Amino acid sequence: MINDAHCHFFSRHFFQALHQDPSSVYRQLQWDDPGDAEALADRWIREMDANGVGRAALIASVPGDEASVAAAVARHPGRIVGFFMIDPAGADAPARTTRALTEQRLTGVCLFPAMHHVPLEDDRTLRVVQAASECPGAVVFVHCGRLSVGVRDKLGLPNRFDFALGDPIALSRLAAVFPNVPFVVPHFGAGRFADVLTAVDACPNLHLDTSSSNSWIRDVAGLSLARVFESALASAGAARLLFGTDSSFFPRGWQRGIYEHQNGILDELHVSDNDKALIFGGNFERLFPAGTIAKTKELR
């Protein structure tokens, strides 16, 4: 079983947020027009079926795009888990969080402190996480370390990120305040790996996702993805690792090469079949049980 805990739902709204003429973006990047949210959701399902992927978390990748991924979840509730980006600086951020996690049946709140310039220990962040903690089944996704947005780079758009704010140690203090909320850090901390290991040692509710090529490793002398997996398994255990690809646009689609590379590394490390099953699918099922979350939200 393969479940992907980290894919991006690049909807029309996402492209409109980047440029007033989205069609020019598609042409420049040579990417496909995503169509409406339902059509894009259907394409994701076809792509997942073609690659043997059972379920996937799809992220609304700009603030304010909850409706797009909510439409995808409504169309394929047994296959798609909906995540959404929230900017804690918005006055309505806690209310938007509550609405997304209840009425819109989304599951993951995504915080990008380096992008939105709101520290993890800021009261505005605390209010968002507090809202999430009051919604059964909610998960908080927090991008730590380095951050790059490939589509913005390709379009020559400025990125004004403050990497100091993506601090795993600060996240461990936030996670300790909400011990019953699962937190997920993507890309093994994206260059803050040592701090991430410290954080997961301190907080049993912190999880790591394995997504993307993890190119940040090239900047750390002597480090390899195999060593990253080995250390993460020693600190977090297989039960707190979630496989992800960071797949996003079409026609590229789902990045099978990332799965094959990571699967090969786990084989080289002689990771047991049971632990591999947890990483590639079981932990996803535990955090996002099919049907249970949707039923809980119907009752609210």
| Interatomic CA distance for residues 53 and 287, integer angstroms | 17
pLDDT of residue 137: 97
Residues 6+ apart with CB under 8 A from 125: 88, 111, 113, 118, 119, 174
**Which CATH architecture fits 2-298?**
Alpha-Beta Barrel (3.20)
Tens-digit pLDDT profile for residues 135-149: 999 999 999 998 888
Sites in the chain below the pLDDT cut of 50:
293-300
pLDDT of residue 159: 81
pTM for the model: 0.94
pLDDT of residue 97: 98
pLDDT of residue 20: 80
CA 134 to chain centre: 20
Reported in sequence order, the residue ranges of 77-175 that DSSP labels E, i.e. its strands, are 80-85, 108-111, 139-142
